Structure 1
Amino acid sequence: MALKNRPVPREPLPDADVHSEGFRQQRQARRSALVEDYVELIADLIEDGNEARQVDIAARLGVAQPTVAKMLTRLCADGLVSRKPYRGVFLTEAGRKVAEESRIRHQTVEAFLRSLGVSAETARIDAEGIEHHVSAETLDAFRKAMTAPR
């Protein structure tokens, strides 16, 4: 007997304060996701032995250079990157911290998905979105699930 066609019982709505907190956290995650993607990519480009140049950032993110220029201005104002004329983009100490935290979240999510049997390519792509929306509690649960004896 297939269960696919059975309706899933709906949970009652949570208290309004609890409900709104979930939406608030998701809005915050969406706002920070772009910043995290940029600083993580800048860190990757620098660590790969290259300068993080605007043209390279645009190519890797699949966006236009003016889009990158606008975001770099924002990241400079937020104290996450610095720019030097005729040189690339550099992370500040705060930018390195954001990049490292983002990288750790990404690696944890990707490893968890791989432990479930998700292909490497799909896990990499899916982790790119999930990493920004997952709580510290959930990341800890992912880590515990991966280290638990089977």
Structure 2
Amino acid sequence: MENESVARDALRDLESDRAALAGRIVAPAWLHAAFALAAAWYVLVPAFGESVRAPAVWGLALVLLVLLWLHRRITGIRPRSVGGRGWAVFAVACVAVLVLLVVSLGLVASLSPWWALAPAVVCFGVVYWTNVAFERLTRENLRRGA
């Protein structure tokens, strides 16, 4: 009987630790917006001339590395703690950005560079929403202890 009580106490403590950890990994809204702006910038790059495209993409890669490092520092989320549903949301975001990049390329080639703004705005919204969903799913995954 005493062992069962000790086990129940240990499980209750573990559950409260998981809940506390899940509550700590909330990223600030500016970080979600920064990821969304970076993705929108990537979709907008075709609107610029050839001389600007390559440096813009390399600069964007550097910005994304810094944002990923900041996200890890602020939230403490490691890739193994994300869970399957979180990775699925991440994959949806990546596919959406690539599709919107293709749309942007098509609009720039057939109409005007200004038309690249439309898929860039859509990209901002999609990436912001998926980033928030990714964080929520990661918190749920940590709460469950999966």
Q: Which has the higher contact order (CA 8 A, sep 6+)?
A: 2
Larger Rg: 2
| TM-score, normalised with respect to structure 2 | 0.32
| TM-score, normalised with respect to structure 1 | 0.31
